[in-house]
Amino acid sequence: MPARLLDGQHIRDQLFEELQPRIARLRAAHRAPGLAVVLAGDHPASQIYVRNKIKACETLGMRSFRHCLPPTVSTAELLSLVSALNQDPAVDGILVQMPLPSSVDARAVLHAVNPDKDADGFHPVNAGKLMENAPGPRPCTPAGVMEILRRSDIEVAGRKAVVVGRSDIVGKPMALLLLHAHATVTICHSRTPDLAAECRQADILVAAMGRPEALGAEHIRPGAVVIDVGINRVKGRVTGDVNPQAARERASAFTPVPGGVGPLTIAMLMANTVSLAERHLGLAECCW
């Protein structure tokens, strides 16, 4: 039987539909949620990501504030902008698009964002909340993966999950979210001996290493659920970290690239911003 396709666009649309009455309530009682996006430099992929995020705000009736800065921007200038956004009552969420120019201290800029406006969930305060499973904004891509699993009726509790990749943005928070959902979790990385053997233990395999089609049939246990977080551009096409043919043939379900996890990343950014707005404006509802 061919693997079931986990359609991220369909799940994104479900989330958007659920967010709309919450946004309407905010607009009626106070104002629309506001997301500020900071883009520094001329990285082509970042420009596309920012356009998609602004478009999602427009689709949902949220306010967006785009700040585009040249590649020559200094750390001090970015810190000054973040400070102003922290103090702006119209801004509920702040997103600093990565990567920043190499001359900028990216860690200092991310740490300068008010944790209560951290739409990406990257601030150390919110990372600590994730660690102890306390309410707070979660990193958008891992949170989106959990929505895919939940809305696709894929059981997590008691399952063996393997996460390939240990980044602060995806791999580590992904492992924590799976652990909080009662999976038994293994994190693999570039120093893992016999990666294929580790991956074949997985009921749920999450690929997040940023290497095009690095995982093949030998990494997938028959019947496993494969979540491909990778987005790689190779010779004009977009591909994930998993060989798609291997996923179709061996998995019970898998996320395609594009159209799988990617749409959920933006949906969870919108959800984080709405929840932050509800907190700022004194409404109790929260999606965390």
**Residues with a known catalytic role:** 53, 97, 120
**Which distant-in-sequence residues (6+ apart) come within 8 Å of 175 by Cβ?**
161, 163, 185, 187
Distance CA 24, CA 95 (A): 23
Residue found under tokens 């991956």: 199
- β-strand partners of 132: none
Tally the C-alpha atoms within 13 A of residue 43's C-alpha that lie toward its C-beta: 14
Residue from 109, 141, 101, 121 nearest 266 by CA: 141
Give strand pairing partners of 184. Answer: 160
DSSP letter for each residue of 4-39? EE--HHHHHHHHHHHHHHHHHHHHHHT---EEEEEE
Count other C-beta atoms under 10 Å from residue 237's C-beta: 9
* DSSP assignment letter at 242: B
- The answer to whether 16 touches 264, Cβ cutoff 8 Å, is no
Q: In whole angstroms, what is the distance from residue 50 CA to residue 41 CA? A: 12
Contact 144, 267 (CB under 8 A): yes
Q: What is the total residue count of the chain?
A: 288
